[in-house]
Amino acid sequence: MGNIYSNASNVVVWLGPSSHDSSLAVETLKSIGRDVEWVDENLELRVKAATRIAQIHNDNLALREMEQSWVAIRELITREWFTRLWIFQEIGLAKNATVGSWT
């Protein structure tokens, strides 16, 4: 299977049927991804200044206002797909991966 995933031009990962909050979870994760940057010299993720994630990092009220987003992310990442061992090959070896949840 490792050869299949590493030689595929694109791997489509299906997380299961969409739920009422799947879009919220994905959009929140995309937003977080835009608000952080990888720093090679320190080997760390850093929150970009003046972003939504920077705001909630130091503001408990702003963090609580996003409760629905955190619940949606929890629901997404506790799906059965994440418990399977082969996901390391599926995602880790893919040259390009598209992750989704559709009906």
- Residue-level pLDDT at 30: 93
Contact 3, 88 (CB under 8 A): no
Sign of CA dihedral 65, 67, 72, 76: positive
With bands split at pLDDT 50, 70 and 90, how would you rate the model's confidence at 92?
confident
Among 37, 31, 26, which Cα is nearest to 77's? Answer: 26
pLDDT at 58 over 90: no
pLDDT at residue number 103: 54
What token pair was written down for 55? 């705001």
Contact 94, 4 (CB under 8 A): no
Interval 25-42 mean pLDDT:
94
Q: pTM for the full model?
A: 0.79
Type of residue numbered 63: L
* Distance in angstroms (rounded) separating the CA atoms of residues 15 and 47: 28
